[in-house]
Amino acid sequence: MASILQHAFYQQCATDVAPNLLGAVLVRDFEGQRVSGMIVETEAYTGQADAASHAYRGRTKRNQPMWEAPGHAYVYLNYGVHWMLNVVCEPVGQPAAVLIRAIEPVEGLDIIRHNRVGRRRQQWASGPGRLTLALQIDQHHNQLDLTKKTSGLWIEQGHTIPSDQIKQGPRIGLGKRVSTEWINKPWRWWIDGNPHVSR
């Protein structure tokens, strides 16, 4: 049995947590059946100073979970269509989180195939909106504690990825309103060559 990542793991800067999450396994419990995938791509959103973060303009009803304790989920609807899964981190008491951008399906492939009917396997969970569809993650998971199995969603220790297989680059999809200083931060990490990384 792999161990579940505990609060201490998330109790550091999002820029440390994000690369450390690569190789870990995101697990969804479907009435006893495990549906899971290895995390292959993440993005860090740091404290309130980060112009690309939802926390930048202060607290709102939506981003409120970012002020929760580390290890909690921040799930929100983007473009009115896609659910995004974040894990809250704790850089010096600031609201910060890591966006899980892509996973490689590992367990419960029948369920994932059903959730992503008609799509090629490589597209089952290769994107933040896709992985939430694959694992059926939505508003019900917002603010849950991901260090507890009772949440039905947690993250387990997985493979250790050699540092030479970890690539790093600018975050994706940030708007023009964000200054280049923040757009250029290389705060997206992924496993080099993994086919389930988003494009």
Catalog residues that contact DNA under the rule CB under 7 A.
43, 45, 52-55, 57-58, 60-63, 74, 76-82, 84, 86, 97, 99, 116, 118-119, 123, 127-130, 133, 171-178, 198
Bridge partner residues of 172 (DSSP): none
CA distance 165 to 169: 13
Q: Which is nearer to DNA, 86 or 147 (CB)?
A: 86
CA angle 54, 60, 62 (to 5 degrees): 70
- Please give the biggest Cα pair distance in the chain: 46
Q: Which is nearer to DNA, 2 or 65 (CB)?
A: 65
Report how far apart, in Å, the C-alpha atoms of 44 and of each of 8, 31, 92, 94, 177 are.
17, 31, 15, 13, 18
Q: Which is nearer to DNA, 122 or 165 (CB)?
A: 122
Report how far apart, in Å, the C-alpha atoms of 52 and of each of 14, 67, 92 are.
14, 16, 18
Phi/psi for 125 (5° steps) reads -145, 25
Phi/psi for 78 (5° steps) reads -110, 145
Q: Which is nearer to DNA, 57 or 149 (CB)?
A: 57
CB within 8 A of 59, min separation 6: which ones?
67, 95
Q: Which is nearer to DNA, 57 or 114 (CB)?
A: 57
Smallest distance, Å, CB 130 to DNA? 4
Smallest distance, Å, CB 11 to DNA? 19
Smallest distance, Å, CB 109 to DNA? 17
Smallest distance, Å, CB 197 to DNA? 11
Smallest distance, Å, CB 151 to DNA? 19
